[in-house]
């Protein structure tokens, strides 16, 4: 049986690597992307079962990635954010392909 494949998209290398280590130790196969465009390229090429996504990334931010993923895939997404404003949290939770 193939391990579950998880994509971590975060421009903070240290955070991405720390998450990757923990997930690898639990038996997951982990791919990483440092920006939204790189994440979208991996999603197009790989069979991803879960995305862990930073909201603030260069080239294509996390909300843009969510919209693009929702338009074409049903992949579950966990969002990471350093933003603390309630409106930012609501926007992240309600982002879809509209």
pLDDT band at 97 (very low <50, low <70, confident <90, very high): very low
Predicted pLDDT at 95: 55
The rounded distance, in Å, linking the Cα atoms of 77 and 69 is 9
Residues 11-37 have pLDDT tens digits of 999 999 999 999 999 999 999 999 999
40 sits in which H/E element: helix 36-45
Q: Are 62 and 54 in contact (CB under 8 A)?
A: yes
pLDDT band at 79 (very low <50, low <70, confident <90, very high): confident
Q: Are 29 and 4 in contact (CB under 8 A)?
A: yes
The two tokens of residue 98 are: 């509209």
Domains detected in the chain: 5-94 (3.40.50.2300)
pTM over 0.85: no
Neighbours of 95 (CB within 10 A): 19
pLDDT band at 92 (very low <50, low <70, confident <90, very high): low
Name the maximum alpha-carbon separation found in the chain.
42
Neighbours of 19 (CB within 10 A): 17
């Amino acid at each position: 049986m193939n391990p579950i494949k998880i994509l971590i998209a975060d421009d903070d290398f240290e955070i991405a690597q720390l998450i990757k280590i923990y997930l690898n130790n639990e038996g997951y196969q982990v791919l990483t992307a440092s920006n939204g465009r790189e994440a979208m390229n991996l999603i197009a090429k790989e069979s991803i079962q879960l995305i862990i996504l930073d909201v603030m990334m260069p080239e294509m931010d996390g909300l843009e990635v969510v919209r693009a993923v929702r338009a074409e895939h049903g992949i579950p997404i966990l969002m990471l954010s350093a933003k603390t404003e309630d409106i930012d949290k609501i926007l992240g939770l309600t982002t879809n392909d509209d």
